[in-house]
Amino acid sequence: MRKTVLAGFGIACGLALAPSFAQNLQMAEPPAAEARAAVPTRGMSMAQVEARFGAPAEKFAAVGQPPITRWVYPSFVVYFEYQHVVHTVAVRAAAQP
């Protein structure tokens, strides 16, 4: 038992003193704060969204329970639960061949 404990302690000390190597990963830049500010935020009402961003290009009727309504704008899509924003999704520009 004592040999096992000493062996375990020796291995732990050896690992603690061994050099560690890490890899640096290049991450994509997060969206700029300005871009995020240009879309409706969670909790805004339908009236607030329409007043700030204008009428949507398309409005889809509520579906499901709770009712989820979708408004489509040229650069984003807004999802409402009842009368309030729950999510906004940016629309990506189509890739040019």
The first and second tokens of residue 61, run together, are: 């009727």
Helices and strands counted in the chain (H then E): 3, 4
**Amino acid 45: pLDDT:** 97
- At 97, is the pLDDT very low, low, confident or very high (cuts 50, 70, 90)? low
Q: What angle do CA 68, 73, 74 make, to 5 degrees?
A: 145
Q: C-alpha dihedral over 43, 44, 47, 51, to 10 degrees?
A: 180
**Amino acid 40: pLDDT:** 94
Each domain of the chain, given as residue ranges in start order, spans 30-90
* Higher per-residue pLDDT: 19 or 84: 84
Q: Phi/psi at 79 (nearest 5 deg)?
A: -110, 130
**Gap between the Cα atoms of 26 and 81, Å rounded:** 37
**Amino acid 38: pLDDT:** 87
Residue that has been written with the tokens 């000493």 in this structure: 6
Q: pLDDT tens digits for 14-68? A: 666 666 667 777 777 666 555 556 899 999 999 999 999 999 999 999 999 999 9
- At 87, is the pLDDT very low, low, confident or very high (cuts 50, 70, 90)? very high
